[in-house]
Amino acid sequence: MSANRKSPARLVLTSPWVIDTRELGRRPGSSRRVHRVATADHVIGLEGVIGVPAGAEVELDVLLESVVEGVLVTGTAVGPLAGECSRCLDPITDEVEVGLTELFAYPDSATDLTTDEDEVSRLVEDHLDLEPVVRDAVVLALPHVPLCAEDCAGLCTECGGKWADLGPNHRHETIDPRWAALQERFQQDPGQ
């Protein structure tokens, strides 16, 4: 390793999101499958809207492949989702599965020297950190408007009750005073 390598962010080597690639070796073509469960330290997603809750277990199933520039990671991450329906505010539980494809460049590889750290991930002391990769993929996969059901009818704007519970015949007698005045006029002038 040369002295001019960029100083990379420190990795917590004991983190379940961090994978040691030393066993893989650097011979291009060698590969290793890694299957493990990692716990989300923080919400992965939008807190209070929808995401993988803090403390939830995310199942990682990835293939590490040694390539010329570094280690290519492909595979999937699967985790539980918890959130709130944006129409009726009911809790939602679901599951998210994302595909992962990420190159972790070797320090001093051509990729390392020609790209910024936020463009291409880096190996740090032969370790790679899947947490930011999974985080990015999950955030992209989350629905912008989480719904308990595609056709959730939401809440009655008058009473705040759920339409699903209120039923189609639910009505409020109170009418907007402006409409009430109009209605009276029409009732008085039926001949127009």
Segment contacting Zn ion by CB under 5 A, of 19-27, 33-41, 109-117, 156-164: 156-164
Q: Toward Zn ion, which CB reaches closer, 90 or 126?
A: 90
Segment contacting Zn ion by CB under 5 A, of 21-29, 61-69, 75-83, 154-162: 154-162
Residue by residue, DSSP assigns 61-127 as EEEEEEETTEEEEEEEEEEEEEEE-TTT--EEEEEEEEEEEEEEEPTTSHHHHHS-TTTSEE-BTTE
CA angle 141, 44, 94 (to 5 degrees): 60
Distance of closest approach, residue 46 Cβ to Zn ion, in angstroms = 17
| Length of the chain (residues) | 192
Q: Does 152 bind Zn ion (CB under 5 A)?
A: yes
Tokens representing 48? 């209070």
Q: Which of residues 76-135 bind Zn ion (CB under 5 A)?
A: 85, 87-88, 90
Tokens representing 192? 């127009």
For residues 96 and 141, is the Cβ–Cβ distance under 8 A? yes
Q: Toward Zn ion, which CB reaches closer, 23 or 158?
A: 158
The neighbouring-strand residues paired with 81 are 94
Q: Toward Zn ion, which CB reaches closer, 60 or 148?
A: 148
- Determine the size of the site formed for Zn ion (CB under 5 A): 10
Distance of closest approach, residue 168 Cβ to Zn ion, in angstroms = 12
For residues 64 and 29, is the Cβ–Cβ distance under 8 A? no
What is the distance between the alpha carbons of residues 71 and 126, in angstroms, rounded to a whole number? 9
Q: Does 162 bind Zn ion (CB under 5 A)?
A: no
Q: Which residue among 56, 65, 156, 163 contacts Zn ion (CB under 5 A)?
A: 156
Q: Does 159 bind Zn ion (CB under 5 A)?
A: yes
Q: Which of residues 12-71 bind Zn ion (CB under 5 A)?
A: none
Q: Toward Zn ion, which CB reaches closer, 51 or 70?
A: 51
The neighbouring-strand residues paired with 124 are 127
Q: Toward Zn ion, which CB reaches closer, 97 or 158?
A: 158
Q: Which residues bind Zn ion (CB under 5 A)?
A: 85, 87-88, 90, 148, 152, 156, 158-159, 161
